[in-house]
Structure 1
Amino acid sequence: MADLTDGQLTVSGQYEASFIQQRLTLKLAGGEVHLRGLKISERANGPAAVELPVVDVTGMEADAIALKATVGSVSFAGGRIGVRHEKDGSINLLNMLHAPTPAAPSAAAAAAGPAAPAKLPDALVKLVTVEGLTIEVTDLGTPQPAQLLLSNLAVEVKNATLADGAVIPVAASFTWAPQGTVAVSGSVTLRPELTADLKSEVTGLAILPLSPYLEQFVNARITQGTVTTTNTVHAALPAGGGLPVIALAGDVTVEKFGLVDGLLNEDLAGFGSLTLKNLKAATRPQLAVSLDEVAITAPYARIIINGEKDKPYLVLLKEADKHINLLAVAKPLAPTVALAPALASTEAAPPQAALPAASPAPAAVRPKVEVGRVVIAGGDFSFEDRAIEPHVRMAITQFGGTVAGLSSENLARADVDLHGMVDGTGPVAITGKLDPFGAVRAIDLKVDFKNVDLLPASPYAGKFAGFELARGQLVVDVKVTIVDRKLDAANVITLNQFTFGAATNSPEATSLPVRLGVALLKDTDGRIIIDFPVQGSLDDPNFRYGKMVMRVMGNLLLKAATSPFSLLGSMFGGGGDELAFQDFVPGESRLQPAELPKLDTLIKALTNRPALSLGIEGSYDATADAYALKRWKLAAAVRRKIWETQHAANPNIAPPDQLVISPEENAAMVKQLFNEKFPPGTKFGAPLAEAPVVAAPPPPPPPGLFKRVVKLVTFAEQREKSAAKKAEAQRASDREQALTAAAEAGLPLEEMTGRLAETMTVDDNDLRALASARAQRVRDQLINVGHIGADRLFLSQSTDPAKQNKGPRVFLNLQ
């Protein structure tokens, strides 16, 4: 609804009319219409929506009988039009046109069917001009109202007509607020199909007023930017229907474009200039886009993690206290109000009969894309994590290079050559070939990061590893191949001179021995080299390249911290957690031949991992070692007794340790000592004890789930326990039979030896001395055979006997 609030109308002309049947005449000659001070206001809001101070229509000639009309000129001078797009999707100017609801056609008219199309009049408007018009647009349909102002609008249309094939010259220009001009010129044909051939020139058009249209989709605002373009456009709307035919050619330049984060109100992204050179686009015969060059200068992006340090680290939602600006930019799209009635009517519609199945649609024709080259210069991309103290800041600067030969038609792939610097010292290179537009998309790229200083990432190490970084550099060598969405990547990550510094006592730090993990992985040149491939399909929803890389690296570091000997074994000759100890024969400190390969593996590992040290702790089995030591003491006593007897007769015999004793001499001396210790008739209340079973070594890691299920299903554990009970019962029976036979035939040599050994004394000092001797033997082997520096080998011994009593072995501890 609208109100006409002001205006003056002047109409003049000569009329000729005759209603005689033989010479019907209805003509207008010299017609003129002059309108001054026209104001039309919205009835609801009051302010004038249309103000036209001067409107002139002159040179009107018309013949109603012949359906022919000519207008000399239509001109508008000055004025203002206010256009407002409401939140409900309506437009104020259309709302002001209150058209009555048309009456329903009569039954007879409906039965008659559609009327034949009426003949179009022969009409011609020689000149239409608009000068100095201002159009104000207010869009309330966006979250933040958009205000657009077009001033000094000038339009010129010549010889406008509905005649078939008539070419109508047109021209328009206006000034854009706050800056910029737009000029369009060319020709339009209205029939038989609507066509246009236009040339447009846009100079310094400010993008800032368009920011509200971006803000409804992302949490970002445009702060600056201008567009300059010169284009030619051919457009046609086929008379028979179908998609429009469009062909465009020209250049486009966007300068000083900037975005700020809508949540943090800080710089987000932008560039100095973006130029599209010789842009060509067409919709027929197929969708095609070509560019000679895309040039981007000074692009930048700022990735910021922001939030309270006591909040979960990976909260990315924009409603949360912490978010990553580039990841929190996107907003979910909601249906607009204008769509609501349509959706409601669809839901309320009654069900219809099922339609026959449609035939398969023909395969879509792939768009044709040609880009001569993409040139990037002066890129600056920074990362800042404010959710950690101190803040982490890193940047890739001086980023630039070329991507040449992008094409959907050329079988050759585009050449990629991009370079940059990380924090000004670490060069980055991305080289190779790619084909993102071909029938089979393909990528073959090599990504290199050289000597990237890791010290800026020290806060992460302090928080999660518990130690600051003293120094370290990162080298990344990745080769990625993707063919038909199948990825094959070779990844080599090198940490050079990676060294932890002071402890931070962070409550969030891991309890794993991270220093040991680093020492395990660091080679003789101070490098940690992690080499692993990644393969998978990009169509697999569970496949994520970044997640795979982090999982491999995480598993490696976890294994280094929790199973260091197993990791060393996999790298230097085999073996697992059993490398952590050396087994010994009870009562002895001699290295066993079967155990020496384990020491050989450790020698290789220590040689190639110079940052590693080794703790060496001897141990004993209080029962098995005491049993063996008593027999060793008895054997020494027998030897000395035989030597003393022979020395009395021959003072020149060899020392006791060199004396050769025959079995008969040994048996005779044992019998003599036994008779001296146990007179005839001595009763032994208990049978002679058997040699004790040696304490088992540390258990291996628990079996996996599959093995545990197999054991459960096959009752393997119950069968093993039953077999052990039967074996123990058999041994007890054999011992009883042996004792009975010995009692009948007299005590055998073994019995006498055992009874005498039981009289020997072995205390904790003897056991500790044995444990210490074993540890020294292992250390000597590493020093003398393996040439490992003594400053890297540390003997240790617990003062708690319970902790020493861990079996006849030496335990090794990587440090």
Structure 2
Amino acid sequence: MPNTSLRRFTRYLQTGWLSPRRVRFWLVVVGVAYTLVGFFVLPWIIQYVAVDTVRDRSGHELQIDGVHTNPFTLTLRVDGLTLSDGDDSDLLRWNQLSANLSWSSVINRAWTFSSIGLDGLMVAEERFASGETRLTRLVESFAASAEAPAEPAPLPTLRVEELRVEDATFHFANHLRDPSAEAGDEPARTRLSVQDIAIAVDGFSLAAGARFPAQLSGQFARGGAFDFDGRVQVLPTPAFEGEASIEEMALAPFEPYLRQTAIVRIDSGALNLDGTIRRDEGEPLAFLGSAGIDILRISRSSDDVTLIGWKTLRTDRLDLRLGDERLETDTVRLEGLSGRIVIHEDRTTNFGRLLVIDPETTPEGGSSDGAALLGMTIANIEVTDGSVRFADHSLPLPFSTYIQALSGEITTLSSESAEPARVELEGQVEDYGLASVGGTINAWQPMRETHLELTFRNLRVPDYSAYTVRFAGRRIASGTMDLDLDYTIRDRQLDGQNNLVLRDLELGERMEAPDAMDLPLDMALALLKDEDDVIDLDLPVTGNMDEPEFGFGQVIRQALGDAIGSVVEAPFRFLANLIGAEDEDLGTVEFPAGRSDLTPPMRERINALRTALEKRPALALELPGAFDPALDGPPLRRRSAMDELRKRLDREIDDPSLSAESTRETIEKMFTDYYPDTPLEKVRARFTTAAEDSPEEETFDALSYRNHLAEQVVAAQPLTEEDLKALGNARAAAVREALMASETGRGIAARRLRLLDPVEVDSGEGERVAMQIGIAPD
């Protein structure tokens, strides 16, 4: 009986439920249902569950334009997704997400995607003054609404053969307090953006230790680009290694972060990096490659005055290892440095006044010599074509200048060595001055041990009249200054042995200045000027660098002369100062040997002397003509010989020569007259030699013969003292006529120009005969 029932049941299945017609029917039903659910129901479920879950668990609004699935190709596409924060700000957005699930996921029991693509992704993160961020608030809201699991769920096994992100954007906003703002003001909102982000990953995997190739690139919204090409690991710890670069990244967007330490403005600047970047379990971040910052300009926030900047700052090797807390570089080349350094009356600096001091972090005493955050070693710094504006208002005579063409070197800087760096810099001050800086400095602990020597030479004092007016109520009319600043700092104690030298100083007009000291400066200058018209002042400076209290020595101590004496002893230098020709020796006129005409430089000197005499109408000049027999004799004798030659020639010659063939016979006659005891045949024999190729033939050197005759004729010319005095008188007359003549028609009156007897001078090895002019009252 049981067997009969079993057979009946089997026959029923075969003829009923398992009949081909019924199987085909149910396959069609399942296929249709799978298709309907996959194409129509599943997208609705995904969209509904996603929107509802985000709203219920976080309170955020999620909008999705459309969800599309294909149950046959296992693809998913989500269009137009937007996740909004509580204040309606978009937190996350994309144009399209596409994912292609591989059928192998069913067999391998792992989420395996053949491709995932994300287009138009936008992520907006914001950090508030409280410290929380939009993303952390989102995560915390999800965590608060979910029950904490007993054990963290393991991450799913995931593999993506091809992951692509295109046209992505990341915005980061931060709320930072502006140190220059009024108390109680809300922190300012600053924003950084990265756009055109592209990510390409092949073989993405969450397997422990799996590394896969990845490429990342993008643009900074305010200028610049970045790129990474290497390998990345996700688990067990994030790691990556590859070639990375940053090109022309604008630094201006980071100004709010710099303002947390200094009240300044970044006007321009671009960062460049190119090298290898690495992160792994033992190294938080490491970089090895070249680095540079170009076209940097940092100015004060209150105006457009540049504090510091440069054209190029580069090093070919920058080695950063955060794990070892070390930073090392090869030579750092700094080109086109520009800066402004001001020492105020209270010894504070313009940089110090701009620093933001936090009383909660500043140690008692106002400063700190804390160690560097990183162990840092810089091989050396090379400076070329720099410029610095420097002013020191703490000196008794306030000082300000402009240094250009600054070049030099700073040797190895190391935070791990007590050995100070050596400084050697030199530059040009204004048009004709010189500045140099030398010495040693410990860059990380400058208050512990520093010795710097700043030297300035040939500075024009009139440029600094604005400061002397405030100091003494007088302008500076003329003069030069040398300044030596020798500062030694040891254990925060300053010892400065400074020296100020003033040359040819002349005071200008008086000016009202409420804070000016009531000093008898005219008498002081008369006492201080030595025989060389030099004022030499020692300015000792001492004090504690934390609370500087400096004492200056008495600077007016010595009397070395008076103004009237210096004028009398050097009258022509005084006249030159009157017309701004300090370098001209107006009391000397130089003449070429044997001549009385004025050369162009001497005519210019005579013009300057005439201008000075016009400013001093009570002065008269004494003109003693000068002559030097040793220097003037040869050209005078030659001129006499030429005159005699012209007389004896029986024909007209425009420019006769004493050694020409055309005048040989006349010169021979003159030679015979001057030297009757010397036959010409004997002279000719001296210049006749046997030919080298034929001893029987003779060679006569006619040119040497004629030159010899000319020299002998010149030497035979008589030269009397009257001839030399006549030359001296002619020279004095030439000077007198030049002083009386003037292009403007206003020359010096004849009565003020006295011709004296000529005098003999010794020119030594010189090529010019100097005529010394005397001065006397009119």
CA contact (8 A) 2:372 2:415 kept: no
Distance 1:315 1:406 in 2: 30
- What is the aligned length? 485
Q: Secondary structure, in 3 states, of the residue corresponding to 1:163?
A: coil
Cα shift readout 1:606-652 (whole Å, capped 9, x = no counterpart): xx334499xxxxxxxxxxxxxxxxxxxxxxxxxxxxxxxxxxxxxxx
The aligned counterpart of 1:126 is 161
Q: CA RMSD in A?
A: 4.2
Determine whether 1:269 maps to 2:308.
yes
CA contact (8 A) 1:409 1:438 kept: no
One of 275, 278, 292 as aligned partner of 2:317: 278
Determine whether 1:421 maps to 2:428.
yes
Determine whether 1:34 maps to 2:77.
yes
CA contact (8 A) 1:88 1:141 kept: no
One of 327, 330, 334 as aligned partner of 2:355: 330
Matched AA of 2:160: V
Q: Secondary structure, in 3 states, of the residue corresponding to 2:523?
A: helix
The aligned counterpart of 2:380 is 373
Matched AA of 1:263: S
Shift of 1:256: 1.4
Determine whether 1:76 maps to 2:113.
no
Q: Secondary structure, in 3 states, of the residue corresponding to 1:212?
A: helix
Distance 1:82 1:440 in 2: 45
Determine whether 1:54 maps to 2:81.
no
The aligned counterpart of 1:456 is 463
Matched AA of 1:174: G
The aligned counterpart of 2:203 is 159
One of 255, 269, 272 as aligned partner of 1:228: 272
Matched AA of 1:299: L
The aligned counterpart of 1:297 is 335
Cα shift readout 1:289-342 (whole Å, capped 9, x = no counterpart): 22112122222234689xxxxxxx97999xxxxxx8645433445999xxxxxx
One of 499, 504, 513 as aligned partner of 2:506: 499
Change (3 A) 1:489 1:94: closer
Cα shift readout 1:105-141 (whole Å, capped 9, x = no counterpart): 8xxx9xxxxx677655443333321011223444444
Determine whether 1:201 maps to 2:245.
yes
CA contact (8 A) 2:119 2:168 kept: yes
Distance 1:331 1:40 in 2: 39
Change (3 A) 1:95 1:481: closer
Shift of 1:282: 1.9
Query: Which shifted more, 151-160 or 161-170?
Result: 161-170
Shift of 1:90: 3.8
The aligned counterpart of 1:556 is 554
Cα shift readout 1:84-119 (whole Å, capped 9, x = no counterpart): 4445444344445632625898xxx9xxxxx67765
The aligned counterpart of 1:589 is none
CA contact (8 A) 1:2 1:43 kept: yes
CA contact (8 A) 2:372 2:444 kept: no
Cα shift readout 1:415-471 (whole Å, capped 9, x = no counterpart): 432111222222011134455469997545432111222212212222331222122
Distance 1:334 1:484 in 2: 23
CA contact (8 A) 1:316 1:327 kept: no
Change (3 A) 1:43 1:120: closer
Distance 1:220 1:7 in 2: 46
Q: Secondary structure, in 3 states, of the residue corresponding to 2:354?
A: coil
Matched AA of 1:134: T
One of 275, 284, 288 as aligned partner of 1:249: 288
Distance 2:258 2:292 in 1: 19
Cα shift readout 1:235-262 (whole Å, capped 9, x = no counterpart): 2345xxxxx5432211122221223322
One of 591, 609, 634 as aligned partner of 2:561: 609
The aligned counterpart of 2:299 is 260
Shift of 1:184: 1.4
Distance 1:478 1:429 in 2: 10
CA contact (8 A) 2:176 2:256 kept: no
One of 101, 104, 113 as aligned partner of 2:144: 101
Q: Secondary structure, in 3 states, of the residue corresponding to 1:134?
A: strand
Cα shift readout 1:326-384 (whole Å, capped 9, x = no counterpart): 45433445999xxxxxxxxxxxxxxxxxxxxxxxxxx9999653322211122222368
Unaligned runs of 5+ in 1: 15-29, 110-114, 239-243, 306-312, 318-323, 337-362, 561-566, 569-604, 614-815
CA contact (8 A) 2:487 2:495 kept: yes
Determine whether 1:9 maps to 2:47.
no
Shift of 1:500: 2.4
CA contact (8 A) 2:101 2:111 kept: no
Distance 1:237 1:498 in 2: 71
Q: Secondary structure, in 3 states, of the residue corresponding to 1:101?
A: helix
The aligned counterpart of 1:739 is none
- After TM superposition, the score normalised by the length of structure 1 is 0.52
Distance 1:446 1:365 in 2: 26
Q: Secondary structure, in 3 states, of the residue corresponding to 2:383?
A: strand
Distance 1:63 1:177 in 2: 40
Change (3 A) 1:235 1:415: same
CA contact (8 A) 1:316 1:328 kept: no
CA contact (8 A) 2:164 2:200 kept: yes
CA contact (8 A) 1:392 1:459 kept: no
Matched AA of 1:41: S
Distance 2:204 2:485 in 1: 64
Shift of 1:510: 1.5
Distance 1:31 1:421 in 2: 75
Q: Secondary structure, in 3 states, of the residue corresponding to 2:470?
A: helix
Written as runs of structure 1 = structure 2, the 5 A alignment for 1:695-734 is none
CA contact (8 A) 1:74 1:128 kept: yes
Q: Secondary structure, in 3 states, of the residue corresponding to 2:142?
A: coil
CA contact (8 A) 2:274 2:291 kept: yes
Distance 1:84 1:409 in 2: 39
Cα shift readout 1:489-528 (whole Å, capped 9, x = no counterpart): 5433322233322222433321233333444433322222
Q: Secondary structure, in 3 states, of the residue corresponding to 1:472?
A: strand
Distance 2:146 2:77 in 1: 35
Q: Secondary structure, in 3 states, of the residue corresponding to 1:99?
A: helix
Q: Secondary structure, in 3 states, of the residue corresponding to 1:456?
A: helix
CA contact (8 A) 2:384 2:407 kept: yes
Matched AA of 1:296: L
Q: Secondary structure, in 3 states, of the residue corresponding to 2:412?
A: strand
One of 457, 473, 477 as aligned partner of 1:470: 477
CA contact (8 A) 1:408 1:439 kept: no
The aligned counterpart of 1:735 is none
Change (3 A) 1:65 1:438: farther
Unaligned runs of 5+ in 2: 1-58, 179-187, 362-369, 566-778
The aligned counterpart of 2:216 is 172
Written as runs of structure 1 = structure 2, the 5 A alignment for 1:518-667 is 518-531=525-538, 541-542=546-547, 544=548, 548=550, 551-552=551-552, 555-557=553-555, 560=556, 567-568=557-558, 608-611=560-563
The aligned counterpart of 1:287 is 325
Change (3 A) 1:401 1:259: same
Matched AA of 2:67: L
Determine whether 1:212 maps to 2:256.
yes
Change (3 A) 1:189 1:39: closer
Change (3 A) 1:215 1:370: closer
Change (3 A) 1:408 1:439: farther
